[in-house]
Amino acid sequence: MIFEPRFECDQAVRVIRNLRNDGTYPGETTGTLLVRRGSIGYVRHIGVFLQDQLIYSVHFIDDGGRVIGCRESELISADEPWIPNLFERGDRVNTKLDLVANGEVVVASGALGEVMAMNRERPEAIHYNVLFGQRLFQVPESALTASPSPAE
C-alpha cells in the first residue's frame, strides 16, 4: 500500500481535537491532556502505523515542546481557517436566550446545561450538543455562556 501524505516535514499544522495520552506518551498518566485542540505544531517525521495509517510526529513548541504522534484525520494545515472554541465536553453552560422549537420555548433563558459534544461541521460557527435535563439540543456557541462554578 502506498501512502500519499497530506502534510510535509517542517509544515505547520493545527490539531483539531484534544490530544490525550493513550498510554504511549512516557511520563504522563493515561488520559492526561497533552495538547489542546487548536494548537499549532510542526511535522518532524512521517511514519506508518499498523501498515494502514499515516502517523505524523508533530513538535508542539508552545505546549511544553512535546512531540506527539498524530493521525492525519487529527490535523489540518495551520493556514486553514480556525475558530477557537470556548467550551469543552463536560463544561457547564447557561443559555443567553430562550431556545425555541416549533414556536414553543423548550429551554428558558439562563437554564443550566452540560456540554456533551462539539460540532464544527459549519465553518462559520461552532455548535455544541448540550444536555438540558433529559433533552439534548444543538446550540450555537453565541447562545451560551459559561456557568459560574457552584460555591464551595
- Which of 16, 70, 64, 81 lies closest to 43, judged by CA? 70
Q: Other CB atoms closer than 10 Å to residue 132's CB: what's the count?
A: 18
Domains, the chain: 12-77 (2.30.30), 92-146 (2.30.30.40)
Answer whether 0.85 is exceeded by the pTM: no
d(CA 120, CA 132): 21
- Average pLDDT of the chain is 88
- Check whether 143 has a pLDDT greater than 70: yes
Contact call for residues 36 and 18 (beta carbons, < 8 A)? yes
Q: How far apart are CA 44 and CA 121, in angstroms?
A: 29
The single-letter DSSP state of residue 24 is -
Under the banding of pLDDT at 50, 70 and 90, the label for residue 26 is confident
